């Protein structure tokens, strides 16, 4: 059987995409470091799943420890990979209370904000989980402090996420281009499999935590009532999995604020901003229900934000209904 056409690899693709643009000096190295970390975390997730079978002997604490180890181990893995690439000045992580300085030379000209392992509680039921990264240029002549990490999402220069699912997919968004790469387990190479991703015009799905319905505003309840009548519900309960399906198939994801948690559950800096950036670069929209999320001026590293993201016209329509 003829060899399948070998797909273009990630590093080759990113080098060619960014080569001639001095604005992105070293960005390909940052993306390559994230990809290395994803390979490593993918192995850990598979191993934890196996170990988790042992945990079904009823030793809940073993299972709990595995999850905790896995969240922290994933964060450590990515911090180490980003430090080793020599281009990242500081990292913010959902697993680390403060920002972490990892380099302060003129070459360290990026900040990375990340959710190293989102949805890890789904590992014990073999549901897809993910890793999410927002990448900002380090503003010139700025000292590296936690405050300097707090840049608005509209200053991102790239965003990356990984889905650890039936396959391990890495999606990279840079200035109007969104491309997906699938991990070839045999070679360890990320191969270009989703070129020039654009969110479809037709919005097929909606994803929303309807278990919070009773705590939503009346306007939000009416919005979701409308979506339920005209769209198919798909809600995995793993943000990256829901986002990725909606990006490829057309859909809208909503995690609203409610009477118990007015700012919702999801984090601005390393969930809403990066995924919002990917959505916009693929022709979609992202809002907190009243404003473009990427325009929010952050005040805290771990602040939460209501999230509405996906198909452009459906997000706009939703905002109009909420603001009536």
Residue 311 CB, nearest distance to ligand P6P (Å)?
A: 18
Binding site for ligand P6P (CB under 6 A): 118-119, 121, 209, 237-239, 265
Residue 129 CB, nearest distance to ligand P6P (Å)?
A: 8
- Rounded-to-integer distance, Cα 12 and Cα 14, Å: 6
Tell which residue, 298, 295, 258, 256, has the closest CA to residue 276.
295
- Rounded-to-integer distance, Cα 280 and Cα 154, Å: 10
Residue, CB closest to ligand P6P: 239
Residue 53 CB, nearest distance to ligand P6P (Å)?
A: 22
Q: Which tokens is 17 given?
A: 């995409």
Question: Judged by CB, which is closer to ligand P6P: 16, or 121?
Answer: 121
Question: Judged by CB, which is closer to ligand P6P: 94, or 189?
Answer: 94
Q: Which tokens is 66 given?
A: 């595995």
- Rounded-to-integer distance, Cα 312 and Cα 309, Å: 8
Tell which residue, 105, 168, 183, 90, has the closest CA to residue 135.
90
- Cβ atoms < 10 Å from Cβ of 43: 12
Query: 82 burial class (0-12, 13-18, 19+ CB within 10 angstroms)?
Result: buried
Question: Judged by CB, which is closer to ligand P6P: 103, or 165?
Answer: 165
Residue 104 CB, nearest distance to ligand P6P (Å)?
A: 32
Residue 255 CB, nearest distance to ligand P6P (Å)?
A: 6
Question: Judged by CB, which is closer to ligand P6P: 121, or 143?
Answer: 121
Helix or strand (DSSP H, E) at 156:
strand 156-164
Question: Judged by CB, which is closer to ligand P6P: 177, or 249?
Answer: 249
Question: Judged by CB, which is closer to ligand P6P: 239, or 279?
Answer: 239
Tell which residue, 140, 131, 137, has the closest CA to residue 175.
137
Residue 69 CB, nearest distance to ligand P6P (Å)?
A: 17
Q: Do the beta carbons of residue 190 and residue 181 sit within 8 Å? A: yes
């Amino acid at each position: 059987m003829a060899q399948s056409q070998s797909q273009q690899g990630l590093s080759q693709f990113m080098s060619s995409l960014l080569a001639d643009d001095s604005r992105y000096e070293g960005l390909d190295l940052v993306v390559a470091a994230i990809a290395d970390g994803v390979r490593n975390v993918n192995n850990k997730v598979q191993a934890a799943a196996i170990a988790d079978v042992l945990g079904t002997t009823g030793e809940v604490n073993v299972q709990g420890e595995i999850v905790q180890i896995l969240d922290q181990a994933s964060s450590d893995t990515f911090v180490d990979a980003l430090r080793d690439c020599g281009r990242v000045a500081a990292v913010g992580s959902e697993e680390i209370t403060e920002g972490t300085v990892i380099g302060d030379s003129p070459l360290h000209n990026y900040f990375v904000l990340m959710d190293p392992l989102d949805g890890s509680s789904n590992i014990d039921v073999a549901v897809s989980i993910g890793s999410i990264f927002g990448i900002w240029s380090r503003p010139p002549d700025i000292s590296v402090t936690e405050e300097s990490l707090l840049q608005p999402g509209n200053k991102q220069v790239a965003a990356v996420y990984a889905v650890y699912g039936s396959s391990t997919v890495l999606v990279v968004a840079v200035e109007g281009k969104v491309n997906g790469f699938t991990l070839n387990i045999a070679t360890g190479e990320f191969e270009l499999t989703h070129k020039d991703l654009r969110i479809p015009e037709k919005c097929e799905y909606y994803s929303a935590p309807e278990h919070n319905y009773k705590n939503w505003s009346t306007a939000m309840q009416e919005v979701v009532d409308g979506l339920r009548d005209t769209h198919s519900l798909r809600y995995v309960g793993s943000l990256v999995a829901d986002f990725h399906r909606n990006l490829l198939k057309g859909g809208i994801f909503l995690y609203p604020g409610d009477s118990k948690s007015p700012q919702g559950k999801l984090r601005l800096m390393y969930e809403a901003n990066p995924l919002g950036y990917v959505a916009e670069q693929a022709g979609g929209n992202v809002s907190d229900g009243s404003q473009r999320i990427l325009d929010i001026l952050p005040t805290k590293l771990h602040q939460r934000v209501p999230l509405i993201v996906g198909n452009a016209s459906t997000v706009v329509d939703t905002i109009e209904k909420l603001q009536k």
